[in-house]
Chain A
Amino acid sequence: MASITLKNIVKTYDDGFTAVKGIDLDIADGEFVILVGPSGCGKSTLLRMIVGLEDITSGEMLIDGDLVNDKAPKDRDLAMVFQNYALYPHLTVYENIAFPMRLKSSDVPDDEIDERVRRASSLLELDEHLQRKPANLSGGQRQRVAMGRAIVRNARAFLFDEPLSNLDAKLRGQMRTEIARLQRSLATTTVYVTHDQTEAMTLGDRVAVLRRGELQQVASPRGLYEQPVNLFVAGFIGSPPMNFLHGTVEGDTLKLPMFDVPLDDRLRRAVGDRQLVIVGVRPDAFEDADTSDRPLEGGVRAEVDIEMTEWLGEVLYAYVPFEVEQSVHEKLSELDRDLDGEGLRTELVVALDSLSRIRAGDPANLWFSPDSLHVFDPETGENLTRDDERAAALEEDAREQRQRALARAREREERRSASAGAASSGSIPAA
């Protein structure tokens, strides 16, 4: 159990490339923090600096208030799960999990090693595989062995480096909930690196979004989704991503391609005296005005031509191509590159109710509320509609929820150990 504090951490490689450009981050005891960003944003480097596999060029790294910049990995007492698991191929599953305790420095008696390995293996449902070698295990089993090796040590914090990226989609979903459950029940400080935003949104208490070695925003998943600080965070969080349109101000209306939005107080304050802004709309902000059963008062309507649709059962995605004005094209294609995009055509993605009858080639009557618009500065990318009070409230809310969840987990754990003690069996039933 530990807090981890990063103070202005910089990493410059020998070839002069600066991968991490001064990051400040406070990770509280027991917190689950996600580092997320497109490839090459420095998130893995940052994690490896925390664990001590990468030297820190400048800045301070504190674990529980102790400066660990120059400490070797073994002295930091952190447990890490690697992307390719890094299991020891010559050892059985049992010995792999026991490995950290077999080292000279750990000094754990044999019967306790056995007890802790068995507890971890029953927690991760590895009991029948203990005598097998990693080569004979499936991807998901290897992943669980790697987690077993991490949890037996009672380390001060867990670090995960894209632990699920080598698994197939179904297994990834299962392991994701497994990790969340494990972290809740152990309440160990966790730092988790991923480029998958589903993992970021579902697992994290707080998510740190990185871009080119710089921290963009640290907030709860909801905070990131509803109140992104800039264009990058807005575009990165959410799937399918937020639509970005250019908006020109003409008197009292904000003209978007296809839509005319009347400027209300909120938007006018955001736009200020700018003539040109970038407007962001989430795909799920749209409604099909013809079939929607919600009362669509006010708001903005327009008739558009649907080029493509994708029906996924629970949702229908409709695609509407449009031309981006030259002046913001530059900014948006730069953003696209940052987000690992392919710079394909610009199109509006609309998420509609799956009951909607709209199909490719149909005209559609789309509706959205101006309250759902985000307005960004075309130069700096700053979110002009961000509501700081609302964002702070969201963070406060997330913190409270987290505390309640932790308290519940602790309670459950106590009940369980009490009943396990009564049954005098050391095993923990699978949750």
Chain B
Amino acid sequence: MRTMTWPQRIGWAAIIVAVLVWSLFPVFSILMTSFKTPSGLFSGTLLPEEWTFDNYAEILAPGGGAQDLFLPALRNSVGISLIATFIAVVLATLCAYAIARLDFRGKRIILVTALAVSVFPIVSIVTPLFNLWRVIGLYDTWLGLIIPYLSLTLPIAIWTLAAFFRQIPWELEQAAQVDGATPFEAFRKTVVPLAAPGVFTTAIIAFFIAWNDFVYGISLTSTSAARPVPAALSFFTGASQFEQPTGAISAAAIIVTIPIVVVVVIFQRRIVSGLTQGAVKG
């Protein structure tokens, strides 16, 4: 990389600081709020005057006021999001591979339909879905959320993976087949390792979508049997009707952010690595 002049460096540093503040300040504010006492919530200061872990105790510790609301919701969120992500990635990988490699009738229709589905506003589907789910018994079940989540995650997964597969030279698979590999072996030994970064990226995006959903979560569940965290947060109440649950909500928000941060930190190398370089003449 070429070296920058001092004014350029200062300019870049200023921009980076501005972006960091813009994106991280709300998170920091919530983090600080989660450490405030109920009376400290309205002090108007950014940092708590009196530090407390009561909010975390309330949602996590046994006997905490919101514990029976939060912990099942966390379990639901993790389970439902992981299953929805897994199914979406497996289906999308097969579908995108076919779209990228094969020439079949209706290929465009699949892509356009996938796009159309993701364009459709969730709010307009959720009411009919609510009625349908109640009739067929999917209401307030994990499966009842996984299916709508697939409709959110599949289109974007198919599109990103198809774009990714198209970058992998066809010749690699053909070379593997000429080298003596079965079609599946060729796929597993050449395409899968090269597509891994794309698959991980797609999985993370799909997981975020499922993890962050609120509308389906609140509309298609009624008990802690399937209610995910974003929906559960809206059911938090204060210790008395004169207290706001802000502290507990903040603590819960921080806790549900942690898995996302962990996932991104672990996989960021895989996400950014450009493995296909050098496959063809560079």
Query: Chain A residues in contact with chain B, CB under 8 A?
Result: 51-53, 72-74, 77-80, 82, 84-90, 99-100, 103-106, 133-137, 139, 142, 149, 153, 166
Q: Which of B176, B189, B278 contacts A133 (CB 8 A)?
A: B278
A105 touches B172 (CB 8 A): no
What is the number of residues of chain B that contact chain A, defined by CB distance less than 8 Å?
26
Most-contacted residue by chain A among B193, B276, B278 (CB, 10 A): B278
A103 contact set on B, CB distance < 8 A: 179-181, 185, 189
Q: Which of A52, A74, A134, A136 contacts B279 (CB 8 A)?
A: A134
Query: Chain B residues in contact with chain A, CB under 8 A?
Result: 169, 171-172, 174-183, 185, 189-190, 193-194, 275-282
A84 touches B169 (CB 8 A): yes
B176 touches A89 (CB 8 A): no
A82 contact set on B, CB distance < 8 A: 171, 174-175
B171 touches A73 (CB 8 A): no
A87 touches B278 (CB 8 A): yes
B281 contact set on A, CB distance < 8 A: 84-85, 139, 142, 166
Please, how many angstroms separate the alpha-carbon atoms of A108 and B177 in the complex? Answer: 17
Provided the pairs A87-B278, A134-B278, A135-B282 are in contact, do residues A106 and B180 lie with their beta carbons within 8 angstroms?
A: yes
Provided the pairs A84-B280, A135-B278, A139-B281 are in contact, do residues A90 and B179 lie with their beta carbons within 8 angstroms?
A: no
A135 contact set on B, CB distance < 8 A: 277-278, 282
B277 contact set on A, CB distance < 8 A: 89, 135
A105 touches B171 (CB 8 A): no
Minimum CB–CB distance from A391 to chain B (whole Å) comes to 36
A-B contacts at CB below 8 angstroms, number = 90
A139 contact set on B, CB distance < 8 A: 281
B181 touches A80 (CB 8 A): no
Minimum CB–CB distance from A238 to chain B (whole Å) comes to 29
Please, how many angstroms separate the alpha-carbon atoms of A86 and B189 in the complex? Answer: 13
Most-contacted residue by chain B among A78, A87, A104 (CB, 10 A): A87
A90 contact set on B, CB distance < 8 A: 193-194, 275
Inter-chain pairs besides A103-B179, A105-B182, 9 sampled, C-beta below 8 Å: A73-B178, A74-B180, A74-B181, A74-B182, A79-B178, A82-B174, A88-B175, A103-B185, A153-B179
Q: Which of A52, A72, A86 contacts B175 (CB 8 A)?
A: A86
Task: Report 29 cross-chain contacts, Cβ distance below 8 Å, ordered by A residue.
Answer: A52-B178, A53-B174, A72-B177, A72-B183, A74-B177, A74-B180, A74-B182, A78-B178, A79-B179, A80-B178, A82-B171, A82-B174, A84-B169, A84-B171, A85-B280, A86-B172, A86-B174, A86-B175, A89-B276, A89-B278, A90-B275, A100-B180, A103-B189, A105-B180, A134-B278, A134-B279, A149-B175, A153-B179, A166-B281
B279 touches A99 (CB 8 A): no
Please, how many angstroms separate the alpha-carbon atoms of A136 and B190 in the complex? Answer: 19
Please, how many angstroms separate the alpha-carbon atoms of A129 and B189 in the complex? Answer: 22
B178 touches A99 (CB 8 A): no
B182 contact set on A, CB distance < 8 A: 72, 74, 104-105
Q: Which of B169, B193, B275 contacts A86 (CB 8 A)?
A: B169
Please, how many angstroms separate the alpha-carbon atoms of A84 and B170 in the complex? Answer: 11
B178 touches A87 (CB 8 A): no
Please, how many angstroms separate the alpha-carbon atoms of A77 and B281 in the complex? Answer: 26
Minimum CB–CB distance from A336 to chain B (whole Å) comes to 30
Minimum CB–CB distance from A2 to chain B (whole Å) comes to 15
B180 touches A86 (CB 8 A): no
A100 contact set on B, CB distance < 8 A: 179-180
A78 contact set on B, CB distance < 8 A: 178
Minimum CB–CB distance from A30 to chain B (whole Å) comes to 21
Minimum CB–CB distance from B279 to chain A (whole Å) comes to 4
A88 contact set on B, CB distance < 8 A: 172, 175-176, 189-190, 279
Please, how many angstroms separate the alpha-carbon atoms of A74 and B168 in the complex? Answer: 21
A149 contact set on B, CB distance < 8 A: 175, 179
B194 contact set on A, CB distance < 8 A: 89-90
Minimum CB–CB distance from B156 to chain A (whole Å) comes to 26
Q: Residue of B at shortest CB range from A79?
A: B178
A80 contact set on B, CB distance < 8 A: 175, 178
Q: Give me the 5 closest cross-chain CB pairs, A-B, nearest first.
A: A135-B278, A86-B171, A86-B175, A100-B179, A84-B280
A153 touches B175 (CB 8 A): no
Q: Residue of B at shortest CB range from A90?
A: B193
B189 contact set on A, CB distance < 8 A: 88, 99, 103
B193 contact set on A, CB distance < 8 A: 90
B174 contact set on A, CB distance < 8 A: 53, 73, 82, 86
Please, how many angstroms separate the alpha-carbon atoms of A72 and B181 in the complex? Answer: 10
Provided the pairs A84-B171, A90-B275, A104-B185 are in contact, do residues A99 and B179 lie with their beta carbons within 8 angstroms?
A: yes
A166 contact set on B, CB distance < 8 A: 281
Please, how many angstroms separate the alpha-carbon atoms of A149 and B171 in the complex? Answer: 14
Provided the pairs A74-B180, A153-B179 are in contact, do residues A86 and B279 lie with their beta carbons within 8 angstroms?
A: yes
Q: Residue of A at shortest CB range from B278?
A: A135
A133 contact set on B, CB distance < 8 A: 278
B279 touches A89 (CB 8 A): yes
Minimum CB–CB distance from B188 to chain A (whole Å) comes to 11
Q: Residue of B at shortest CB range from A75?
A: B180
Q: Residue of B at shortest CB range from A161?
A: B171
Please, how many angstroms separate the alpha-carbon atoms of A156 and B172 in the complex? Answer: 21
B172 contact set on A, CB distance < 8 A: 86, 88
Minimum CB–CB distance from B275 to chain A (whole Å) comes to 6
B279 contact set on A, CB distance < 8 A: 84, 86-89, 134
Minimum CB–CB distance from B82 to chain A (whole Å) comes to 27
Q: Which of B171, B179, B181, B278 contacts A136 (CB 8 A)?
A: B278
Please, how many angstroms separate the alpha-carbon atoms of A132 and B277 in the complex? Answer: 13
B180 contact set on A, CB distance < 8 A: 74, 77, 100, 103, 105-106, 153
B177 contact set on A, CB distance < 8 A: 52-53, 72-74
